Amino acid sequence: MCAKQLALTGATLLLEHERGRQAIEPTPIEIALSEPTWRGDHLVRLIKERLGRIEVTAPVIALRLDASNVQPVIPASDTLFPEPGGSAEDHVRLVELLVARLGEENVLRPAPTADYRPEIANRWVPVASASKSTVLPEGLPRPTWLLEKPVRLLMRKHRPFYGSPLRMVSPGERIEAGWFDGELVTRDYFVAQGEDQSCFWIYRERVSSRDAEEDQRWFLHGLFG
């Protein structure tokens, strides 16, 4: 009879410090796992990355691994032709390694929310967050990456300028939203192209008729890859 192989679904490494009269509470290090794993080399890499990010306040006299969350290993199904770029398990291990090295708050995934205002719709959450994404309408020329704060563009010969004169290469998308929460935006968005063929997402502020004599203000809000 062979022993059943088990996989970890979560683990905590405890750094034991001074005991006795001057006892110090152990320092816990949570090992985040997106999926159950049984690979010892992967766990060691995660632990090394986490150890490199903490500052130990007292000498460590022992290590204790709490690995109570386990489940039977489900054998992986091999494919005749390996997937290019690695398997789904490879991708999961890469994300876990990035989280261990950079911290969960610095490894994000897109989670767009249903709002016409781009700065609100373009939402990012920690990769392990259970927050659900909303499917945005198709056909809208919106970039993945938005600037944290729109940049006002220079005007040259009545055209927006960013390194070179920009020309519009898309129809306008008019956005009027936010009246319900006091953050009203009224903008006309366009995909613009520079002389080097780079594409940008820019918008023109819509002004009232009494302010029409003022120069129009254009802003850069997003970048296309």
Does the pTM surpass 0.85? The reply is: no
Alpha-carbon distance of 49 to 97, in angstroms, equals: 8
Domain boundaries, the chain: 6-72+86-106, 137-223
Instruction: Characterise 161 by phi-psi region: left (phi > 0), alpha (psi -120 to 50), beta (else).
Output: beta
DSSP secondary structure of 71-121: EE--PPPP-SSPPTT--HHHHHHHHHHHHHHH-GGGSEEE---S-SSHHHH
pLDDT tens, position by position, 125-149: 788 776 665 555 566 677 878 888 9
Task: Give the H/E segment covering residue 50.
Answer: helix 40-51
pLDDT in tens, the chain (225 residues): 455 566 667 778 888 888 777 788 888 888 877 777 777 787 888 888 888 888 888 888 888 888 777 767 666 655 655 566 666 677 777 777 778 778 778 888 777 777 677 876 777 778 877 666 555 556 667 787 888 899 999 999 889 999 999 999 988 888 888 777 777 888 999 999 999 999 999 999 876 544 554 567 999 999 887
